[in-house]
C-alpha cells in the first residue's frame, strides 16, 4: 500500500472519531427562541404554554406555547413548585432520561491522555531511528532498500575508465546468470567483493552495473545505517537484511562506506564500541558461518581499506578486492564520452584533448566538468557546448571561479604579474618539469594569480630531478618579487608556494629516501597507527639528533633549488619584464605566447579559445611496470599538484 493511501485512511479514521465525539456532545434538536426563566414562569402562570419537556440532568427546559412557537430555557436551580404550577395550568409535562455517553466517546475521553503519551513516545522513537517510514517497534528491521531487476537500468556500457575492475566483476555476472556453469566443476564464486579506490571513481556505479547486467534484485545500504544508539540493534538489522536477501536470492547486497561498521575491533582510544563490534561480529557470521547464504553476493565499497578488520578480508568473506583507481588518459576520454552523450556538442569538441588537460580527475570530477560546460553554454544562450565552454569549466574546477568583482590596484596587479611570470620562467627552464599551459593574473578563488602546468602524459611516479624542479618553480614567484622590489617588499603571496615546497622537500627526506645522508629509511610518523592496532615496521620514535639531520637535509633541498631558481631569473630578467608586460596587457597568456616570450620574440595576439586547444595528438604511453611503493600511489598525478595556486589573499 502506498504512503498516500495510508495517510488517506488515517485521516478518514480521525475524521470519523471526531464526528462521533462531536455528535455525542451536541445532540438534540435546535429551538426557535431562547427564553429567560423569569419569562417562562410568567408564561406558565398566564396559561400560555401547551407542552413542557424537563431534563433534570442538565436543567434544560424545552416546550411549545399555545401559539405553536417553540422555546428553550435553563432552570438556574431546582424549583419544587414548578411542577405544581404546570399541572395547575393544564400544561402537558414530560421528563427526559439522563442521556448516557456513547461507548466510543467515553473510551476516547478516558483514554485520551494515554493515547497522547503513546503518540509522543512513537514520535520520539521514530526520530531516534532516523525516520524511514517504519513503525516504532522496527528497531531491528533492516534499512536496506530493495531495487528490483526492472528498476536497475545501469549496465557496463555506462561504466568507463576502469576496464580492469570490470573484468574482475564480470564473472560475478556470469555466476548470477548461470551458477551451474561454475558449480559443476566444483568452483564457487566469491561471497564478498570489496571495491577500493578514491572517492568519485565509480565504485557504486560499478556495483549497480553488476546488478543491471545480471538482472537480479539489488539491496543497497550504508554502513552507518546499521549502527544505532541501542546495543544489539545493528546486529539485528544485519540478520534481517540477510533473511530478506535469502528470500530474493540470487541477489546482490551492496554496503557503501563499510568502514563505518567494519573497523578493527578493539582499536582506537578507550577500547572499542560495543554496538559497532556486535554489528561487525554478526556480519562476519552471516557472510561465512554455519548458515549458508547461497546465491547472495555482498559487494562493499570503501576508500579506507587500511582500517578494516582483518576478519572481513580473509578468504570466505571479502576474499576479492577490486581496485577502482583514478582513470588514466584513455579512461578519462572514455568517461567523458559517456557523459557527453546527453550534451549537444559543437564540432570542435575533442574528448582526447580534454582528457589530456584533466590529469588526476576522477569520474565524478569529469561528470562535473561536462555539467559545468553545459551550464556555461546555457548562460550564454548557445545551442551547443563548444570547446570554449569546456575550457572555461576546466579552469573553474582546477583554479576556482573568476573573481571579476575584485578590485586590484595597478601596483598589486604588477606585482602579481611578476610573481606568476617567475613561476612560468623557472618552470620552463628546469629539467623534466611539466610544460606551462597558461598564466593568468585574473583572481580565482583565494588566489590572485595562477600558473597552470599541463603534463604531456600521466605520471605514475616522480623522479628526484622532477621533484627538485617542482621546488624550484614554486620558489620562482617569491624570488621574482624580491628581485624586482627588494627583500623588504616581498608579500605574503608565496605562503602556499612555501608550504608546498617544504612539504615536497620533507617527503623527499622522510618518505621517499632521496636524501644521501639519511638514506632509504622511513622517518615519518604513521598517521593510521591508532587504527592499525600498533606494530608495523615504521619508526615509532625519533632521536633529537635524527630530527636535526632531517631538518638540515630539508633545508639543503630547499636552499639548493631556491638558489637555482634565483640564478635562472637573474639570467632571464629581460624575459621576466616582457612576460609582466604581456600579462598586464592581456591578463591571461597561453603556451604559444609563452613560447614567443621565451624566444625573446614579439608576443602574438591572443586567439580564440578553441584555437588554444590545437595541440599534437597525445603520444601513446609505453607500458610501465606497476609501482609497488605505497607512498608513490598517493602522489599519482593529482590535479591539485599540477596547478600552481598562489594564495596571495592572506
**Which residues are tagged catalytic?**
420
Task: Give the pairing of strands 218-222 and 320-323.
Answer: unpaired
Q: What angle do CA 87, 29, 18 make, to 5 degrees?
A: 140
At 7, list the grid cell: 495517510
- Specify the DSSP class assigned to residue 534: S
Indicate the pairing of strand 49-55 with strand 92-95.
parallel
Of 551, 473, 560, 478, the C-alpha closest to 518 is 551
Q: Facing residues of 93 across strands? A: 52
3-class secondary-structure state, position 359: coil
Cell for 266?
578493539
Q: For residues 598 and 439, give the distance between their C-alpha atoms in angstroms, rounded to a whole number.
A: 14
Residue 591 · residue 615 · CB < 8 Å: no
Nearest Cα to Cα of residue 161 among 339, 299, 300, 373: 339
Grid cell locating 219 = 539491496
The tally of CA atoms less than 13 A away on the side-chain side of residue 581 is 11
CA pair distance 301, 254, nearest whole angstrom: 8
- CA gap 122, 116 in Å, rounded: 10
Separation CA 234–CA 240 (nearest Å):
10
Residue from 61, 85, 80, 83 nearest 72 by CA = 61
Amino acid at each position: 500500500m502506498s504512503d498516500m493511501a495510508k495517510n488517506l485512511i488515517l485521516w478518514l479514521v480521525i475524521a470519523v472519531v471526531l464526528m462521533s465525539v462531536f455528535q455525542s456532545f451536541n445532540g438534540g434538536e435546535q429551538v426557535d427562541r431562547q427564553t429567560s426563566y423569569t419569562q417562562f414562569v410568567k408564561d406558565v402562570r398566564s396559561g400560555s404554554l401547551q407542552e413542557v419537556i424537563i431534563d433534570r440532568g442538565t436543567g434544560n427546559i424545552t416546550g411549545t406555547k399555545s401559539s405553536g412557537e417553540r422555546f428553550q430555557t435553563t432552570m438556574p436551580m431546582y424549583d419544587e413548585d414548578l411542577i405544581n404550577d404546570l399541572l395547575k395550568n393544564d400544561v402537558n409535562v414530560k421528563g427526559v432520561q439522563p442521556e448516557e455517553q456513547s461507548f466510543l466517546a467515553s473510551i476516547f475521553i478516558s483514554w485520551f491522555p494515554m493515547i497522547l503519551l503513546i503518540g509522543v513516545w512513537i514520535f520520539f522513537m521514530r526520530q531516534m531511528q532516523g525516520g524511514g517510514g517504519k513503525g516504532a517497534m522496527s528497531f531491528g528491521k533492516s534499512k536496506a532498500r530493495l531495487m528490483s531487476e526492472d528498476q536497475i537500468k545501469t549496465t557496463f556500457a555506462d561504466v568507463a575508465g576502469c576496464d580492469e575492475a570490470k573484468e574482475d566483476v564480470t564473472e560475478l555476472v556470469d555466476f548470477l546468470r548461470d551458477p551451474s556453469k561454475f558449480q559443476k566443476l566444483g568452483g564457487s564464486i566469491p561471497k564478498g567483493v570489496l571495491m577500493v579506490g578514491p572517492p568519485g571513481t565509480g565504485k557504486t556505479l560499478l556495483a549497480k552495473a553488476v546488478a543491471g547486467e545480471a538482472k537480479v534484485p539489488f539491496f543497497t545500504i550504508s554502513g552507518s545505517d546499521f549502527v544505532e544508539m541501542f546495543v544489539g540493534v545493528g546486529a539485528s538489522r544485519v540478520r534481517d537484511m540477510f533473511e530478506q536477501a535469502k528470500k530474493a536470492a540470487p541477489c546482490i547486497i551492496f554496503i557503501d562506506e563499510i568502514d563505518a561498521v567494519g573497523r578493527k575491533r578493539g582499536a582506537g582510544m578507550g577500547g572499542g564500541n560495543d554496538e559497532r563490534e556486535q554489528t561487525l561480529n554478526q556480519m562476519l557470521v552471516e557472510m561465512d558461518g554455519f548458515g549458508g547464504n547461497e546465491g547472495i553476493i555482498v559487494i562493499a565499497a570503501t576508500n579506507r581499506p587500511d582500517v578494516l578488520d582483518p576478519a572481513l578480508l580473509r578468504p570466505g568473506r571479502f576474499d576479492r578486492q577490486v581496485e577502482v583507481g583514478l582513470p588514466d588518459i584513455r579512461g578519462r576520454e572514455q568517461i567523458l564520452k559517456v557523459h557527453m552523450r546527453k550534451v549537444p556538442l559543437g564540432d570542435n569538441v575533442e574528448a582526447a584533448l580534454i582528457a589530456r588537460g584533466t590529469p588526476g580527475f576522477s569520474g565524478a570530477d569529469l561528470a562535473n566538468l561536462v555539467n559545468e560546460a553545459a551550464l556555461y553554454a546555457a548562460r550564454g544562450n548557445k545551442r551547443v557546448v563548444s570547446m570554449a565552454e569546456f575550457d572555461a569549466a576546466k579552469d573553474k574546477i582546477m583554479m576556482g571561479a573568476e573573481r571579476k568583482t575584485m578590485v586590484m590596484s595597478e601596483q598589486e596587479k604588477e606585482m602579481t604579474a611578476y610573481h606568476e611570470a617567475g613561476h612560468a620562467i623557472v618552470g620552463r627552464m628546469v629539467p623534466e618539469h611539466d610544460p606551462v599551459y597558461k598564466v593568468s593574473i585574473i583572481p580565482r578563488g583565494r588566489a590572485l594569480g595562477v600558473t597552470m602546468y599541463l603534463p604531456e602524459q600521466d605520471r605514475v611516479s616522480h623522479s628526484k630531478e622532477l621533484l627538485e624542479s617542482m621546488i624550484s618553480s614554486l620558489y620562482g614567484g617569491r624570488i621574482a618579487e624580491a628581485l624586482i622590489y627588494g627583500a623588504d617588499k616581498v608579500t605574503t603571496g608565496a605562503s602556499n608556494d612555501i608550504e608546498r615546497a617544504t612539504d615536497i622537500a620533507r617527503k623527499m627526506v622522510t618518505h621517499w629516501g632521496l636524501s644521501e645522508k639519511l638514506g632509504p629509511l622511513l622517518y615519518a610518523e604513521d598517521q593510521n597507527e591508532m587504527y592499525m592496532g600498533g606494530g608495523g615496521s615504521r619508526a615509532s620514535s625519533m632521536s633529537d639528533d635524527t630530527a636535526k639531520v632531517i631538518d638540515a637535509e630539508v633545508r639543503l633541498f630547499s636552499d639548493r633549488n631556491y638558489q637555482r631558481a634565483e640564478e635562472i631569473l637573474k639570467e632571464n630578467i629581460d624575459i621576466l619584464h616582457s612576460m609582466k608586460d604581456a600579462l598586464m596587457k592581456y591578463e591571461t597568456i597561453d603556451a604559444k605566447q609563452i613560447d614567443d616570450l621565451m624566444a625573446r620574440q614579439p608576443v602574438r595576439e591572443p586567439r580564440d579559445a578553441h584555437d588554444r586547444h590545437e595541440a599534437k595528438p597525445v603520444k601513446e604511453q609505453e607500458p610501465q611496470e606497476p609501482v609497488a611503493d605505497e607512498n608513490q600511489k598517493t602522489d599519482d598525478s593529482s590535479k591539485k599538484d599540477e596547478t600552481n595556486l598562489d594564495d596571495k589573499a592572506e
